[in-house]
Structure 1
Amino acid sequence: MQSRDDYIEFLLEEAESEIPYDPEPIGRYNVSPGTKVLLLNNREGTLHLDPVIWSYAPSWWDKAPLINARVETASTSRMFKPLWNHGRAIVFADGWYEWVRAGDKKQPYYIYRKDRKPLFFAAIGKQPFDVGDEAAGFLIVTAAADKGLIDIHDRRPLVFTSRAALEWMNPETTGAQASELVHDAAVSADEFTWHPVSLAVGNVKNQSPELIKKTDKASL
């Protein structure tokens, strides 16, 4: 698990930042919705890193909070269009988990880049992110899975290259330009690989680095 400085190093060659130096590894191997996640965002041309709730529910929403937004509709829907235009952010990670059903059982897999580079997930949320509003947090933008990833799950987080991540967060990038980034600068499914991991990831209290290690499915 990398430190937040390791992730940010891929982005900040020329960008202005108000993010304090912190070389300690983040140490979260099992991040769950409804918890606070470090959200990278650009406010007035300067990058900030704020702990924000991973879920979103506007005041008029009378259902359970949402955690994902489909890229196919996020830029045009009543709920998500304002966030798409003015609340774009990035969540960084090393990988993510998906569960695959096999008969009456489910097997978790860990998905990550073949070159082990950091992942920059596209996110949208309610600005400003530094006010600590528990009711209005952020969502991960998802896209349809393709190629080999479809065998794991039909959806996947939208992952950007480091350069595209900066453009995505830039307040001067319009909603239309953000939509172009989705099609032109997302990391291809060819760049990912995956392996089975322990069923222990099903308990969010478990945070050991053992969670992302490859395991023998037959031994579960």
Structure 2
Amino acid sequence: MCGRFAQYSSRDEYFDALGLKPDEITFDPEPIGRFNVAPGTKVLLLSEREDALHLDPVFWGYGPEWWDKQPLINARGETAASGRMFKPLWNHGRAIVPADGWFEWQKEGGKKQPFFIYHRKKQPLFFAAIGKQPYGQDHGKEGFVIVTSSSNQGMVDIHDRRPLVIAADAVREWLSADTSPERAEEIAHDAAIPEKEFTWHPVSKAVGNIHNQGKELIEQLHEATD
């Protein structure tokens, strides 16, 4: 986790969930409509700079010049604040990915079945993220990664890692430049949405193809497919 997610609601719906006012950021009633967001694409990312909130398209992946492998897409929340790769991003590049859910694949015999995971009340989700600031500029493959946490309290039957989903009322503090790295660690621990708040169902294996983007990708699958 996290290798695929959905970001299909409108900006209005995400910002309403955060309690933002129209004069704080540009609202838009049109659905974003991305049901199969993949790494290596640009994702709408919420951040704060110059004391204002911004929503920018940012490359999902992080690979600095000295990194000779594929860009990383996730960072473990337990070590991101202290590791060589991610500490600078944790200190100065905290962001949020507004989302509606994410996909995980569970092994069933010799096959893998995808599941869509989302809030039980279908509320918007806010994934903790870190990356290269300022997000209003193109930094090539130095984009952002999604912060993950352990799924050892109810979701391990699908995957042992999940995105770190922050409660809506803690998002502004997470993003604030005035929030210390140490306080950000506390937020990541104390304001994370627990596993019990999520539910999931099997979906079509068509989600495995990034060219498929329709709403049918998140619909519940009632019969097994090959």
| Cα-to-partner distance string for 1:16-55 (whole Å, 9 max, x where unaligned) | 63x3332110010000000000000011221000000000
Counterpart of 1:88? Answer: 94
- Structure 1 vs Structure 2: percent identity of aligned residues? 58
1:197 aligns with 2:203: yes
Change in Cα spacing, 1:145 to 1:45, as seen in structure 2 (3 Å) is same
Q: Of 182, 193, 212, which residue of structure 2 is paired with 1:187?
A: 193
Aligned partners of 1:44 and 1:171 also within 8 Å: no
Counterpart of 1:153? Answer: 159
Aligned ranges for residues 1-220 of structure 1 at < 5 Å? 1-13=8-20, 17=24, 19-220=25-226
In structure 2, C-alpha distance between the alignment counterparts of 1:179 and 1:60, rounded to whole Å: 27
| Cα-to-partner distance string for 1:78-106 (whole Å, 9 max, x where unaligned) | 11000001000000111000000111100
Which residue identity is paired with 1:74?
A: A
In structure 2, C-alpha distance between the alignment counterparts of 1:183 and 1:217, rounded to whole Å: 38
Which residue identity is paired with 2:160?
A: D
SS in structure 1 at match of 2:90: helix
Any gaps of 5 or more consecutive residues in structure 1? none
Which residue identity is paired with 2:57?
A: P
In structure 1, C-alpha distance between the alignment counterparts of 2:22 and 2:27, rounded to whole Å: 15
Deviation at 1:187, TM superposition (A): 0.2
Change in Cα spacing, 1:147 to 1:15, as seen in structure 2 (3 Å) is farther
In structure 2, C-alpha distance between the alignment counterparts of 1:181 and 1:8, rounded to whole Å: 20
Change in Cα spacing, 1:6 to 1:48, as seen in structure 2 (3 Å) is same
Deviation at 1:217, TM superposition (A): 4.0
Aligned partners of 2:101 and 2:116 also within 8 Å: yes
In structure 2, C-alpha distance between the alignment counterparts of 1:170 and 1:7, rounded to whole Å: 18
Which residue identity is paired with 1:113?
A: H
Aligned partners of 2:201 and 2:220 also within 8 Å: yes
Q: How many residues align?
A: 219
Deviation at 1:219, TM superposition (A): 4.4
Deviation at 1:176, TM superposition (A): 0.2
In structure 1, C-alpha distance between the alignment counterparts of 2:88 and 2:23, rounded to whole Å: 25
TM-score, normalised to structure 2's length? Answer: 0.93
Deviation at 1:147, TM superposition (A): 2.1
Deviation at 1:13, TM superposition (A): 3.5
Any gaps of 5 or more consecutive residues in structure 2? 1-7
SS in structure 1 at match of 2:224: helix
Change in Cα spacing, 1:4 to 1:48, as seen in structure 2 (3 Å) is same
CA RMSD of aligned residues (A): 1.4
TM-score, normalised to structure 1's length? Answer: 0.96
Which residue identity is paired with 1:126?
A: K
